[in-house]
Amino acid sequence: MARLSQQQTSSGHTVMVVDDDGELRGTVARLLRSCGHTVLTAADGEEALQLVAAHDVHLMLLDYFMVGMTGEDVVRELRLRGHELQVVLQTGYASERPPRDMLRDLDIQGYHDKSEGPDKLLVWVDAALKAHRHVRAIMASRDGLNHILQAAPQLHRLQSLDDLLRGILLQLQGILGFSGACVAVLPGSSTGSGLVAVPGAQVFEVRVATGRFEGRAWPDLDTAERNAIIGAAHSGRPARTPLTALPLQAGERNVGVVLVELDPQAAADADLTLLEVFAAQAAVAIQNVQLFELATTDDLTGLMNRRAWTGRLEETLQLGARHGHPTSVMLIDVDHFKSVNDTYGHLAGDALLRALGATLRDHVRATDLAGRYGGEELAVLLPHTEPAGARILAERLRERIAALALDWNGQHVQVTASVGLATDLGGAHSVPTSAALLARADSALYAAKAAGRNRVLEAAGPALSLAGAEG
């Protein structure tokens, strides 16, 4: 049965605990009541939905794996019915979906691992209730709130950290009413400028900037600007100094500071509560991207690691099979890489791989995905790409690699690369798995190296066709 209980000194918040484990449900409820929260408990999703309809619930702590409706089912039903309460999913099973997937795909505010204990849970509760207070406080600011809600999907989509930070700055400019692209000003008025700084090992690092801050690094900022960033990071509160400094806080962790220069009237009119709500969204997005990049990026080359890359390949092939889109893959192997290590040392080999990673990042299309397949072997996923287009792209990359010159201790290190291509046509012609397509590309790569290296060979069914240059 649902149980409503309240402590004498109330926090003013109502929290619901939904878990089919009665003992755990009771333990969490007692913990929350000791913090002064009004507590509702429910043993399953249906009961939770009934209570939400009857009470003003601010936060739901929701077990992911329950008999009947899962936590994911409950979240989707809550949003379908128009309930806007904060939701923190709780998990006790390692096999459940990764936190980033859940935060990206569902409208939830947190994902707590039960094994992390009560202290971490209370951090999530405090952060979620803080977000709830902010949302309630700015209901009158409809335009700003709508802007934040519309920005959330863009912030939480898969993207690089720098792209995310640029997006945060652009969204913030939209909230504050100035644009970094085109600004019309009256004589004597100032344009808007801004930057996003993230904490480094010793000092902050300026990652993206607009206006007069563009192109400036941390040492280039004046004392007042640096102090504004440091002060906001330490206090965790937005401030006008007169620069507007907005800390990006994910729980108790500072992930960055936005520094914005506005004209005096715009700065005075800025709703700091509204900005804090946006900052909470932005901070979670930054933390998610950092965790995602840590888990999916190869440290040496900066490309996607093999596990993440092959996972994306599998997803792309499935979409291609369903919708009839072709998918091509490119396996790239550095010719005579061992001789680079033997001649110049392994540090030179590592530097060469870093340079190759940068070359691929700079010259693949925005829709393509480059990864480190293993050792000196790199890979590129080419969605929606037929064999003819893949050959053109492979030749361009082969030429770029051949033109790459690494300066190592006064010597120029140059290499060539062999490339194997394979294409899955999608639809009824689709191969069953990514392994089959990669096996064909690997066979083409082996043939390219056997034929003299520094060339592109395409696996066209059982036959191989030459599409490169003699090395």
- Alpha carbons 469 and 471: distance in angstroms, whole number: 6
3-state secondary structure 108-137: CCEEEEHHHHHHHHHHHHHHHHHHHHHHHH
* Token couple for 137: 């406080």
Bridge partners, 16 (sequence order): 40, 60
In which residue are the tokens 């504004």 written? 228
* Token couple for 246: 């907005």
In which residue are the tokens 């798995």 written? 433
- Alpha carbons 334 and 192: distance in angstroms, whole number: 47
- Alpha carbons 241 and 352: distance in angstroms, whole number: 46
Question: What phi and psi values does residue 323 have, to the nearest 5 degrees?
Answer: -110, 0
Q: Choosing from 47, 72, 261, 376, which is the catalytic residue?
A: 376
Q: Count CB-CB contacts under 10 A for residue 237.
A: 13
- Alpha carbons 23 and 40: distance in angstroms, whole number: 15
In which residue are the tokens 């592109």 written? 456
Active site residue 376: yes
Q: CA-CA distances (angstroms) from residue 325 to 10, 123, 181, 318, 430?
A: 58, 45, 36, 10, 9
Q: Which residues of 441-464 are buried (b: 16+ CB within 10 A; e: fewer)?
A: bbbbbbbbbebebbbbbbbeeeeb
Q: Count CB-CB contacts under 10 A for residue 36.
A: 14
Q: Which residues are catalytic?
A: 376
